[in-house]
Amino acid sequence: MGRWLCFYKKANVVFFSVRKGHRLSFGPSWYMVLVLLFGAAYAFGTTILAFSNPIQRFILIVLWMNTTMNLLMVSLADPGYILGEEEYDCEQPITCTVCNMRVSPTSHHCQDCGLCVEGFDHHCFWVGKCIGGGNMKYFANFTLSVVVSFLYIIVSRIPIVFCFINSL
């Protein structure tokens, strides 16, 4: 019987393995996720109070829940950390000069995490980890949900701004 729960650390990343093949990871700046969660809860909470229309409040709550879920998904999903020698279908795997491991040409060594990441895009301080092939879709969804939420708040406040300007 295999392990179902396993904690381990490699370089600057802490892994929580739920079962073989499925792992969650916390990057070196994991505390920024907590800052974002509490900051978003406060910002959305105070914004929700400013809306008197129950439909607008409901929409804002749905947007906040969507943004929060996407943040949790991107911050917990494994971006594609390469933890050991893996077999690659490509003809010419490269050797990472830092890890001294054979990796695919699409991987890159992250200096912040201290690991190679398959499909590396960038290291995002705000979500506390690398953005790579394993969590790119969650990062795109998170970014889109933040933009949609801000646009909704701005557009829904335009009539109030015009009423204020007209009252002057």
pLDDT at 85: 60
Within-domain flag for 119: yes
pLDDT in tens, 106-141: 889 988 888 889 999 999 988 889 999 989 999 999
Please name the residue ranges forming H helices in 25-135.
Answer: 31-50, 54-76
Backbone CA torsion sign across 114, 97, 124, 5: negative
Within-domain flag for 53: yes
Burial of 105: CB neighbours in 10 Å, binned 0-12, 13-18, 19+: exposed
The residues assigned a catalytic role are 124
Within-domain flag for 9: no
pLDDT at 73: 92
**Can you give the pTM of this predicted structure?**
0.78
Residues paired with 25 in a beta bridge: 15
pLDDT in tens, 88-103: 556 677 888 888 888 8
Residue pair 107/92 in contact (Cβ under 8 Å)? The answer is: no
Within-domain flag for 3: no
CA dihedral 40, 42, 43, 46 (to 10 degrees): 150
How many separate domains does the chain show? Answer: 1
pLDDT at 6: 60
Q: What range does the domain containing 136 cover? A: 29-167
pLDDT above 50: residue 1? no
Higher-confidence residue: 61 or 164? 61
Within-domain flag for 13: no
Within-domain flag for 37: yes
pLDDT at 91: 66
Q: Stretch 137-155: mean pLDDT, rounded? A: 93
Q: To 5 degrees, how large is the angle CA 64–CA 66–CA 71? A: 95
pLDDT above 50: residue 76? yes
Residue pair 148/46 in contact (Cβ under 8 Å)? The answer is: no
Within-domain flag for 93: yes
Within-domain flag for 8: no
